[in-house]
Structure 1
Amino acid sequence: MDSELKERVAVRLAIGAILRAVETVNREYGGDITAALVFASVVEANVGHLATSPDSTAALATVGRLPPDEMRRPVTGVALAATLGIPNETVRRKIKGLIDQGVLARVDGGLIVPTEVLASDRMTRLTRASFVNLRRLFIQLRRIGVDLSDDGAALA
């Protein structure tokens, strides 16, 4: 398979993975994909830094598999709106709904997803479905010859 064809097939496979993820999240959030995006953005803002920090990784190993609330970086609604490219008022309404559902909490500096929410059966189910979806994508990419090494995903 030539390089251009591999790129096209890889993009098609990635789109399939994105659509499967949207379907899963949409089902979990009763069709409110915007609320799901706001929630996911809060999670990423809270814990995204932990995946790249050796100190944070070591600390997580000592406290357990979920980062305690104090290791999370709060995020503001304004920052979420800017990241997602959606109106502040829309984000504000979604945040209010997510707080009312008990899946977001206001803390000094913004919003976090509390530990008990991340540890819930619902989040475990979503995490597992996301992992299975990513694994499927990686297997498909490997089959068409996409290099998934640390050097960056390059076409073999």
Structure 2
Amino acid sequence: MSSRTDVPSCEPDLNGARELSSKQVQRHHENLRATGNPSHTQFGYGGRSVCRAFVYNAEAGFRFMRNATDIIRTVSRHTLAYMLFSISELFRLYDEFDPLDLLIVHAILNANVINVMNDPSLDQRFSSIHSVEPDVIKQGVSRAALSRFLSLPLETVRRRVTGLKRRKILAETKVGLIVTEQNAFRFGNNHELQKTNMLLLTKLLRDLRRAGVNGPDDLRGAKVAVSTKKAR
């Protein structure tokens, strides 16, 4: 009987998203055959590690998943892993900040550049890691909008925003709150975080491709399957 499981391991090198070696794959394979349980191996990298998971079948090895329900489940797994590892890196780099403050700061950052993301010319103009969006083009956001978006009490948002303004991270403009371009903590311009995100995104895209998802067209069957179930 074949046994499929998610086998966690960790990348020892953040500078290159390499595949597991054949010996590591063989070791996992033998462990699964002998015990039916995944072998867990963690390699440290500078006091931290970035974990990865892959779908492995003890009889067939790596495989592509083409079934619509398999696509839904595997996309959920890999995208959740991407989000959690991204959040983990954010918390690690800004460990002097309360997680809720970080959530508010990055919600504001996202709102500030929605107009950039929606304008292909601006998106290209500020695509480089060295091109920071100036404050004058940022789209502000209100406290009430943040409260609704994050499902947080308005008073909580107000209190946190006041503290972040005091640290000169946020500024009040005529169009709402923005994360200042010159903030001392490099929010919105943290090169280490941006480079790590590129590695995590590369891993996500690689894992989805391995699962048979190369683009949005590959998700159409999954959407149809969901719609059919709802109709019943």
Q: How would you bin the TM-score normalised by the shorter chain? A: 0.7 to 0.9
Identical counterparts, % of pairs: 27
Aligned to 1:129: 196
Q: Does 1:9 align with 2:86?
A: no
Return 5+ residue gaps in structure 1 as ranges: none
The TM-score with structure 1 as length reference comes to 0.82
* Residues paired across the two proteins, number: 153
**Of the candidates 203, 211, 214, which is equivalent to residue 147 of structure 1?**
214
Larger CA deviation: 127-136 vs 80-89: 127-136
Cα displacement string for residues 84-136 of structure 1 (whole angstroms, at most 9, x for unaligned residues)? 11101111122122222222112222211122239938722222222222221
For 2:124 and 2:107, locate their aligned partners in 1 and report how far apart those are by CA, in whole Å.
24
> Which string of whole-angstrom CA distances, capped at 9 and with x for unpartnered residues, describes residues 19-53 of structure 1?
11221222224462211111111111111221121
Task: Show structure 1 runs of 4+ deviating over 4 A.
Answer: 58-61, 151-156
Amino acid at match of 1:72: K
Query: Aligned to 2:149, what secondary structure does the other structure show?
Result: helix
Q: How does 1:10-29 map to 2 (within 5 A)?
A: 10-27=75-92, 28-29=94-95
Instruction: Identify, as 1 or 2, the structure richer in helix.
Output: 1
User: What one-letter code is carried by the residue in structure 2 that aligns with 1:82?
Assistant: R
2-side partners of 1:47 and 1:24: how far apart? 21
Compare CA radii of gyration and give the structure with the larger one. Answer: 2
- The equivalent residue for 1:112 is 178
Whether 2:98 is the aligned partner of 1:32: answer: yes
* Cα offset, 1:152, TM superposition: 7.5
